[in-house]
């Protein structure tokens, strides 16, 4: 059997993801060859992500190699994968999600709430920056930090910051789980869209690779992140806008009709699922925020396409609720500020 050529970034975290995917595929009898591809985000590690230009700084070169047939499969950290569809490519599988939460790391303080006014907190994310500023009412000095996980932790250990916020999934995957002091929880701290999940991308017409990768898919994770990505696409936010979202899928807890016996009610409950989407959008300074929770219950026996449509519709509905709450002007202002920071000229009205 010809090995699948698996494209990945060369960073330690990306290689962990690629190795995990390779091991999972080979456990199913599929041989894999890992191909390292450098991306713009890997080359320019000193510039803030917002200054690197368009979306997809960690994915475009890999997707190009996939389209050209230089690789057969790409593995992405799903939060880095832009939501815009690319003709010829397909998000084929999303494996079981790791811990989606953000983690508080500090050598001086045990929890976020222990931070005093003026504390210097580092994060690589505009979303986390906005959440931290909102939580502290602007009392903390929130600063951007770039570099891989090891580099960022070293800066913390060198005393540049009092604390740092990182994705718990990345810390755990790289063996730094012991550095986590506590987790940032919802509703105030929602993760990035797709955080903790991997996305396995193939060419849309490569039926053989699609079939080989399919066993790694997890329906609950896929539908959850699909709702999150639909929300992001509707808001047209991209990864540089302070948007948090968390989709979760569980067996329905809806109360059965009173005429049903307890046994029938239990059986029916097992046949129904509820998809929940928590969503928020914040201003860069954290002073303004809109939040919502949307749910949809459906029959577990529906087809994959029907479930996919439900998840995408839930994301669109949640986004519209945020806009109806008053987020329309906030979205426009965020885009204007984002484009100015990226050196882009906003279109004239």
pLDDT digits (tens, 9 = 90+) for 208-242: 999 999 999 999 999 999 999 999 999 986 656 89
How many whole angstroms separate alpha carbon 340 and alpha carbon 200? Answer: 33
208 burial (CB, 10 Å; 0-12 / 13-18 / 19+) is: exposed
Q: Distance between CA 56 and CA 110 in Å, rounded?
A: 35
CATH number for the domain running over 102-184: 3.40.190.10
What does the pLDDT read at residue 269?
52
Where b means 16+ CB within 10 Å and e means fewer, 117-126 reads eebebbbbbb
Lowest-confidence region among 6-15, 150-159, 249-258, 313-322: 249-258
Report pLDDT digits (tens) over 63-119: 999 999 999 999 999 998 989 889 999 999 999 999 999 999 999 999 999 999 999
- Please name which of 53, 59, 75 lies closest in space to residue 7, comparing C-alpha atoms: 75
3-state helix, strand, coil in the chain (%, to 5): 40, 20, 40
Give the number of other Cβ atoms within 10 Å of residue 198's Cβ.
Answer: 25
Q: Where is pLDDT greater, at 187 or 216?
A: 216
> What is the distance between the alpha carbons of residues 232 and 241, in angstroms, rounded to a whole number?
9
Is the CATH code 3.30.160.40 the one for domain 219-341?
yes
- DSSP letter for each residue of 295-334: EEEEETTS-HHHHHHHHHHHHHHHHHHHIIIIIHHHHHHH
Report, at the CATH architecture level, how domain 4-95+197-216 is classified: 3-Layer(aba) Sandwich (3.40)
* Residue extents of the structural domains in the chain: 4-95+197-216, 102-184, 219-341
The widest CA-to-CA distance across the chain, in whole angstroms, is 66
Set 42, 44, 80, 99: catalytic member: 80
Q: Are strands 120-123 and 163-167 parallel, antiparallel or unpaired?
A: parallel
Asked if domains 4-95+197-216 and 219-341 share a fold, the reply is no
The CA R_g of the chain, rounded to the nearest whole Å, is 21
**Is it the case that residue 23 has pLDDT exceeding 90?**
yes
* 163, 105 Cβ separation under 8 angstroms: yes
Token pair belonging to 241? 């806008």
Question: For helices 149-157 and 12-27, what crossing angle results, to 10°?
Answer: 140
User: Is the pLDDT confidence value at 3 over 60?
Assistant: yes
Nearest CA-CA partner of 95 in 226, 229, 218, 250: 218
User: Is residue 44 among the annotated active site residues?
Assistant: no
DSSP string, 212-267: HHGGG--HHHHHHHHHHHHHHHHHT--TTS-EEEEEEEEE--PPPPTTS-HHHHHH
pLDDT of residue 313: 98
Q: What is the pLDDT of residue 228?
A: 97
Q: Which residue has the tokens 């810390």?
A: 171
Q: Which residue has the tokens 């713009």?
A: 40
List, for residues 234-282, the tens digit of each pLDDT value: 998 665 689 999 999 998 765 444 445 555 555 555 689 999 999 999 9
Statement: residue 47 has pLDDT above 50: no
């Amino acid at each position: 059997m010809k090995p699948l050529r698996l494209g990945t970034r060369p960073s330690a975290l990306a290689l962990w993801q690629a190795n995990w995917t390779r091991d999972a595929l080979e456990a199913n009898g599929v041989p894999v060859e890992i191909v390292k591809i450098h991306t713009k985000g890997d080359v320019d590690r000193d510039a803030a992500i917002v200054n690197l230009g368009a979306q997809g700084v960690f994915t475009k070169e890999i997707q190009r190699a996939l389209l050209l047939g230089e690789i057969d499969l790409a593995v992405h950290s799903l939060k880095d994968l832009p939501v815009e569809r690319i003709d010829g490519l397909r998000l084929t599988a999303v494996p079981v999600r790791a811990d989606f939460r953000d983690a508080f790391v500090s050598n001086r303080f045990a929890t976020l709430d222990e931070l005093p006014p003026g504390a210097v907190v580092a994060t690589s994310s505009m979303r986390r920056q906005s959440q931290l500023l909102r939580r502290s009412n602007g009392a903390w000095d929130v600063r951007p930090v770039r570099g891989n996980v090891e580099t960022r932790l070293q800066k913390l250990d060198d005393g540049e910051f009092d604390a740092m916020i990182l994705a718990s999934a990345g810390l755990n995957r790289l063996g730094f789980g012991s550095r986590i002091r506590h987790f940032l929880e919802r509703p105030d701290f929602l993760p990035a869209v797709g955080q903790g999940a991997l996305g396995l991308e193939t060419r849309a017409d490569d039926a053989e690779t699609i079939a080989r990768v399919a066993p790694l898919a997890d329906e609950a994770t896929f539908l959850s992140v699909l709702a999150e990505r639909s929300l992001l696409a509707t808001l047209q936010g991209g990864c540089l806008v302070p948007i948090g979202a968390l989709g979760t899928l569980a067996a329905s807890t809806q109360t059965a009709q009173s005429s049903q016996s307890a046994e029938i009610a239990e059986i029916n409950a097992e046949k129904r699922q509820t998809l929940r989407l928590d969503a928020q959008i914040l201003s860069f300074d954290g002073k303004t925020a809109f939040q919502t929770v949307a749910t949809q219950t459906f029959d577990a026996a529906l087809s994959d396409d029907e479930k996919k449509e439900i998840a995408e519709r839930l994301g669109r509905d949640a986004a519209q609720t945020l806009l109806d709450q008053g987020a329309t002007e906030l979205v426009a202002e965020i885009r204007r500020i984002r484009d100015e920071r990226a050196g882009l000229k906003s279109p004239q009205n």
